[in-house]
Chain A
């Protein structure tokens, strides 16, 4: 997906700044990034329909604020930031709707996962999703970006605005908590 031959990011960023080319260029951005952003959002919000809504909001937000993107940062960094903000906003709204404290973990998101028609994972995969959902929000983000997206710490640092050292520490803590979760729920 990321290796599509006709995707020239520098050219697309240039085209995004002109009225006559912006729509076509943004179409290429959607085509190029929709899948990776979807999976990142999906791992945060768990449910497919919710992930679909958040992804749509992400692209609408990016589209309406395209004038603010000057090309100083990478397009992927900018889109990831929007996607993460939209995901967290969505989760916080869900917490408010379910009368859950904003400080509580996101375990409520995986309660319906077993009956989700778009989930066919085995028991271990389900348990891992429950373990990840029990992590504090920042650790969830770091774990997902590192473990599933295999993102470099330097890139994560740009997206999350956190130092590489702190991100490594977060990932390490997340691993320990996941191990503990598996030990406690054996």
Chain B
């Protein structure tokens, strides 16, 4: 601070030459206290924050949205179930028809085909037994 002051100020110092009447401050303080008007202090109470409309409505909106979501999902699943059961019924009906057709084929096959098959298997077994002796 002293470095920033000029030579002029250093020469004059900090005395201003201003004076006050004798006992001025003591009398002022007393006078001041006597002249204070009555006031009411608003004692600090815990602030009861009034929630905004959005904050108050939000839980209900969330609940409503959840129920709406569940309802939508149930509707979609119901629709899907309706469609799939119909499709399943159709599929089941198709499979049943094929089974019936297969049964019809078995019953209509004659015994000659089966014998021919048995003969061919027996012949291949005979050939397999001959092969080791040829190797010797």
Contact = CB atoms under 8 A, between A and B. Distances in A.
Interface size class of B (residues with CB under 8 A): 20 to 34
Contact of A178 (B4, B6, B44): B6
Given A31-B29, A59-B32, A18 B19 contact: no
B4 A179 contact: no
Nearest to B33: A27
B20 interface: yes
Interface residues of A, number: 45
B18 A48 contact: yes
A119 B15 CA distance: 11
Interface string B1-41: 10011101101101111111100010011001101110111
Contacts of A126: 17
Contact of B12 (A120, A125, A146): A125
Contact of A66 (B8, B12, B41): B41
A63 B39 contact: yes
A63 B18 CA distance: 27
A135 B136 CA distance: 135
B43 interface: yes
Contacts of A175: 4-6, 9
Interface in A44-73: 48, 52, 55-56, 59-60, 63-64, 66-67
Contacts of A6: none
B39 A148 contact: no
A166 interface: no
Contact of A121 (B1, B4, B17, B35): B17
Interface string B55-88: 0000000000000000000000000000000000
Given A30-B32, A179-B8, A182-B8, A38 B39 contact: no
